[in-house]
A and B are shown apart, each in its own frame.
Chain A
């Protein structure tokens, strides 16, 4: 199966399912639904974003109603319900970050990439998101790359360096 098909298929890979199983094992046997947040992250990591088919597949794997999984996918704002670029940059613009340049950092990225929040560069490489507090205000301005990598003290030089590293 080629990669393209793999991305479109709601089926999760055996590896993803193994990861989900590991999460399920953390909870009491009759509480599989507890693993839905982690399972959706695993699915998002594999598929790039969460289509309704992917959400339904996760719900079915965990034996929960699809709308219950959809509620979760739409409640927590790091789930991507639309395709995003290869690098999703989330800039914190909350007050503590803003005091140290969070908003300016976002403006700087917008200018450099030529996109606004919630937009993706035409080459599909970058998507820019506005984030809320990431719990790292002492390192302001902070940015997340693809949800899982926290970048601190994102002054112009650091941003330039980060963007250059992203290939």
Chain B
């Protein structure tokens, strides 16, 4: 299902034909590869190119929001061997925008990566694609073949002096590979255990060589930015929050899916685009930036606009733009238990606080959910998260801690109720109905 509703479509312009509009000829018909051609024929300098990207105020769409142009400018000029890597290891619960980007318009990412390669002086790139979306990986490989056949990839691209080749690498089920250095380790054929930084990838990246690594959506935005000019792109959004952004809306809305909106669009508008609350039920909470972002209660969320600064001010993160919407049928203890289990399962096992702490958190939350909570557990959870946050190589420990802290902070009474009454504040039948799984059928209830 190729959505959907956009305000000022950019990245999603090519999505309207669904699965029928992804191929090279469609992309070219939409003006694809024109920017690459322009750069090569005009012999645009690397500095000019990076300056244009800087002007756009494009910030990394993978979650951290680091300014893209600045990141590119960190690449050492003289190094003989450099890499460009795209992070399509989209595993942050709630996030599914990159999958659709590669499904409906893989060539914008390819063009973006080629241009990035030109900008940073790399001759080789890899796109690391989440293992669970193998069909997308296969489509991307097909798209690469098309681009190669058309001369957009390979030696002396379009007769210029610039050579660049690009390959796809698939994951096989490890959330941590979404962390950029874990991803680089994974491309090297190892476990995806993140590296301690410094050194940063710009100095010591893939195979120890300078590497620029960006999110799929970041690369996909590049041709559009160059097409309209950095400044025009910036003006689509807000200062310091340039351009449009894809938001993956999931959970209790009528039309879950990806929505491209200018940065700074009110959350209320986004919710409306997603068809509003399912069954007209009441909004309870939203995780605005993927499961690692702190949850926000409905009232706070309804006041937010969808950009890095507004969400940060509200006490959460825009992250990858995954908006998980929860209505009043949700038991927040059970919801947290699910997330805590996820981080416990996905901890790579490298750093002590995360390896040991993520399991501790899960077990305590699990106990509370199953009626075995103790009054001191909430303080314990906060203390354990305190000892995890900021103590590890990568941010997974923080990601495991944030939900715990924010769920307890905003929904403490629900946790206390669970501990005291050994059951859920939200009636199990109400919870069961909330998922909608049984809505349209007469299936007998299963255990």
Chain A residues with a Cβ under 8 A of chain B: 26-28, 31-38, 40-41, 62, 64, 68, 71-72, 75-79, 93-96, 98-105, 107-108, 110-111, 131-141, 144, 147-150, 155-157
Contact = CB atoms under 8 A, between A and B. Distances in A.
A147 to B, nearest CB: 7
B274 to A, nearest CB: 9
Nearest to A101: B437
B193 to A, nearest CB: 8
Contacts of B417: none
Nearest to B126: A26
B342 A132 contact: yes
Interface in B240-275: 248-252, 256-258
Given A95-B324, A96-B250, A37 B169 contact: yes
A76 B93 contact: no
A157 to B, nearest CB: 6
A135 B90 contact: yes
Interface residues of B, number: 68
A81 to B, nearest CB: 13
Contacts of A75: 174, 191-192, 348
Which one of B168, B250, B326 has the greatest number of beta carbons of chain A within 10 Å?
B250
Given A99-B326, A132-B346, A133-B342, A34 B437 contact: no
B133 A133 contact: no
B172 A96 contact: no
A79 B172 contact: yes
Given A100-B251, A101-B437, A133 B91 contact: yes
B130 A135 contact: yes
Given A26-B167, A107-B446, A95 B342 contact: yes
A147 B170 CA distance: 12
Interface stretch (B45-53, B182-190, B421-429): B182-190
B113 to A, nearest CB: 15
A64 B135 CA distance: 29
A108 B435 CA distance: 13
Contact of B256 (A28, A36, A98, A140): A140
A68 B437 CA distance: 42
B175 A132 contact: yes
A75 B185 CA distance: 12
Interface string B273-294: 0000000000000000001000
B294 to A, nearest CB: 14
Q: Which 5 pairs between the two chains have the least Cβ-Cβ distance?
A: A101-B437, A33-B189, A134-B132, A78-B173, A104-B437
Contacts of B29: none
A76 B133 contact: no
Contacts of A107: 446-447
A77 B173 CA distance: 5
A77 B171 CA distance: 10
Contact of B435 (A26, A31, A99): A99
Contacts of B90: 135
A62 to B, nearest CB: 8
B441 A157 contact: yes
B132 A31 contact: no
Contact of B434 (A34, A95, A99): A99
Interface stretch (B94-102, B226-234, B364-372): B94-102
Contact of B189 (A37, A108, A137): A37
B347 to A, nearest CB: 12
A41 B172 contact: yes
Nearest to A155: B437
Contacts of B342: 94-95, 132-133
Nearest to A72: B191
A156 B441 contact: yes
Contacts of A110: 446-447
B440 to A, nearest CB: 7
B338 interface: yes
B447 A78 contact: no
Nearest to B349: A75
B322 interface: yes
Given A26-B167, A108-B446, A99 B173 contact: no
B95 A156 contact: no
A5 to B, nearest CB: 27
B133 A95 contact: no
Given A34-B188, A133-B93, A135-B99, A78 B251 contact: no
Given A77-B173, A93-B338, A138-B258, A37 B132 contact: no
B131 interface: yes
B330 interface: yes
